[in-house]
Amino acid sequence: MDLGLAGKKAFITGGTQGIGLAVARALVAEGAQVAVCGRDPERLAATGLPGVQADVTDPEQLGRAVDDAAELLGGLDLLVANAGGAFGGGLLDSTPEEWAQTYAINVLHAAHAIRTAVPHFERQGGGSAVVVASITGWKPGPKSSYASAKAAEIHLAAALGQELGPRNIRVNALSPGSVLAEGGGWEWFKEHHPERFEKFEREDFPRGRLVELREVTDVACFLLSPRASGINGANICVDAAQDHPSAGRLFP
What is the average per-residue pLDDT within 8-27?
97
- Residue 46 domain-assigned (yes or no): yes
- The residues, any chain, with a CB within 8 Å of residue 118's CB and separated by 6 or more, are 127, 164, 167, 169
- Residue 44 domain-assigned (yes or no): yes
How much is the pLDDT for 221? Answer: 99
How much is the pLDDT for 139? Answer: 85
Q: How many domains does the chain have?
A: 1
- Residue 187 domain-assigned (yes or no): no
Domain at 73, CATH number: 3.40.50.720
- Residue 186 domain-assigned (yes or no): no
**Whether 96 contacts 102, CB under 8 Å:** no
Query: Is position 103 annotated as part of the catalytic site?
Result: no
**Per-residue pLDDT at 243 exceeds 80:** no
- Residue 207 domain-assigned (yes or no): no
| Residue 9 pLDDT class (50, 70, 90 cuts) | very high
The average confidence (pLDDT) of the chain is 94
**Per-residue pLDDT at 248 exceeds 80:** no
User: Domain range spanning residue 49?
Assistant: 9-178+212-238
- Residue 87 domain-assigned (yes or no): yes
Q: How far apart are CA 115 and CA 119, in angstroms?
A: 8
Of 11, 87, 103, 146, catalytic: 146
Q: What is the pLDDT of residues 80-131, one digit of tens each?
A: 999 999 998 889 999 999 999 999 999 999 999 999 999 999 999 999 999 9
CB atoms within 10 A of CB 111: 18
- Amino acid code (one letter) for 48: G
- Amino acid code (one letter) for 26: A
Percentage with pLDDT > 70 across the chain: 96
- Residue 225 domain-assigned (yes or no): yes
